Amino acid sequence: MSRRPSRVLLAIVMALATIGVARMQRAAPSADATARAVTAADAFLATLDPGQRTKANVDLNEKTRTVWSNLPSGSTLQTGATERNGLKLGDMTPAQEKAALALVAATLSRDGFQKAMEIVEADQVLETRSAQSRAATSRTRFGRAEFYVAVLGKPSTTAPWMIQFGGHHLAVNVTLAGRRQVLAPTHTGTQPASYSVDGRTVRPLGDENDKAFALINALDADQQKQAVLGFEVRNLVLGPGADGKTIAPEGIRGAALTPAQRAMLADLVREWVDMLGDEAAAAKMKEIQAGLADTYFAWAGATTNGKGAYFRIQGPAVLIEYAPQGRADANTDHIHTIYREPANDYAAQPARQ
């Protein structure tokens, strides 16, 4: 049975995000973010029975870390027998679900956690809309009950381990290696792109969209000629299943932007990077800023906000794509994005050190 869009869930989200995590950070400002995540992971796992724990806590290796998807549960497009690692929220008690979400909150920034949960709620809206028209034989399911939480490896303040939180349109993969946290690869998306809760309009990826349109329109005519691709892009090029693949940079190089335009580009990148906590996000942005002159911004589609458009940001330390599904000019209500770090997905660099 489908659930209604959860106003209660949003209240829990905001409470956890604004009170719980903030309280931990204020109470122990010198505490390492990884240590807080370890505490939250251990607390979540302690709520589970042995069978649940077997699902929720799996080994970390090259195979298990790549078990993630942006597809809905039961989708016939799934290529593997296992759709995702972990235990789904729908199979948890309220106390277990609260502990699971507290783990996700401890791993992400307040804004990052809120964004993730707004994507979850969008999928619940989609479930409510589609439940009546869905064929009785369909295995495909949307909604928050179909989102999974997994801990890969043993939570540790020194050895690498991983947290995954995902479902339809969301695959958060955070690898923790000592004091370092790596968000790549992470998929964010939404359908619908906008919905209402208690009279408030929610746009999970609205800032990404608006900042990108502001940047393309801040370019002069010659700069736009460099940035705009001469072909249509209907989906992510390096999305799920494209680990290890590369593409040549296209668009306008950061060195060809004015200082103000480069600042706008960096601010757009922050929409993804700032999903991590302050320390990890600041370290990553410092790395991205150092390579901003060699970071490219590419665009395909309309340049009027409200219409569909694809864009890509590609540099030495980051790769981001934003892609409306199908014809960009015909569908602005179904968005996929991907965040990757060249040569450092799944924290490959810390793992080698």
Each residue's pLDDT tens digit, 231-286: 999 899 999 999 999 999 999 999 999 999 999 999 999 999 999 999 999 999 99
Of the candidate ranges 28-42, 96-110, 187-201, 210-224, the one whose mean pLDDT is the lowest: 28-42
Q: Which of 178, 210, 231 is the last residue of a domain?
A: 178
pLDDT band at 75, cuts 50/70/90? confident
Residues 290 and 338 in one domain: yes
> Whole-number mean pLDDT of the chain?
89
Residues 266 and 118 in one domain: no
Amino acid at 316: P
pLDDT at 137: 63
Residues 160 and 238 in one domain: no
Distance CA 18, CA 221 (A): 43
Neighbouring C-beta atoms of residue 178, cutoff 10 Å: 15
pLDDT at 74: 80
- The reply to whether the predicted model has a pTM over 0.85 is yes
Pairwise pLDDT comparison (183 vs 28), residue with the higher score: 183
Residues 32 and 141 in one domain: yes
| Cβ-based neighbours of 235, under 8 Å, separated by 6 or more | 323, 325, 336
Residues 155 and 214 in one domain: no
Residue 29 has pLDDT above 60, yes or no: no
Residues 26 and 117 in one domain: yes
> Is 194 inside any structural domain?
no
> Is 184 inside any structural domain?
no
Range of the domain at 260: 201-352
Residues 97 and 239 in one domain: no
Beta bridge partners of 314: 296, 319
pLDDT band at 210, cuts 50/70/90? very high
Residue 293 has pLDDT above 80, yes or no: yes
pLDDT at 1: 34
| Cβ-based neighbours of 351, under 8 Å, separated by 6 or more | 160, 177
Residues 110 and 13 in one domain: yes
Neighbouring C-beta atoms of residue 77, cutoff 10 Å: 8
pLDDT at 186: 98
pLDDT tens-place string over residues 307-352:
999 999 999 999 999 999 976 566 689 999 999 999 999 999 865 5
Distance CA 39, CA 127 (A): 33
Residues 207 and 338 in one domain: yes
Residues 64 and 158 in one domain: yes
Neighbouring C-beta atoms of residue 166, cutoff 10 Å: 27
pLDDT band at 73, cuts 50/70/90? confident
The distance of Cα 173 from the centroid of its chain, to the nearest Å, equals 8
The total domain count for the chain is: 2
Residues 174 and 209 in one domain: no
Q: Which of 145, 178, 211 is the last residue of a domain?
A: 178
Secondary structure string (H, E, C) spanning the chain? CCCCCCHHHHHHHHHHHHHHHHHHHHHCCCCCHHHHHHHHHHHHHHCCCHHHHHHHEECCCCCHHHCCCCCCECCCCCCCCCCCCCEEHHHCCHHHHHHHHHHHHHHECHHHHHHHHHHHHHHHHHHHHHHCCCCCCCCCECCHHHCEEEEECCCCCCCCEEEEEEECCEEEEEEEECCEEECCCEEEEECCCCEEECCEEECCCHHHHHHHHHHHHHCCHHHHHHHECCCCCCCCCCCCCCCCCCCCCCCEEHHHCCHHHHHHHHHHHHHHHCCECHHHHHHHHHHHHHCHHHCEEEEEECCCECECEEEEEECCCCEEEEEECCCCCCCCCCEEEEEECCCCHHHHHHHHC
Distance CA 177, CA 90 (A): 30
> Is 282 inside any structural domain?
yes
Beta bridge partners of 190: 335
Structure tokens at 59: 């080994």
pLDDT band at 131, cuts 50/70/90? confident
Of the candidate ranges 52-56, 81-85, 208-212, 323-327, the one whose mean pLDDT is the lowest: 81-85
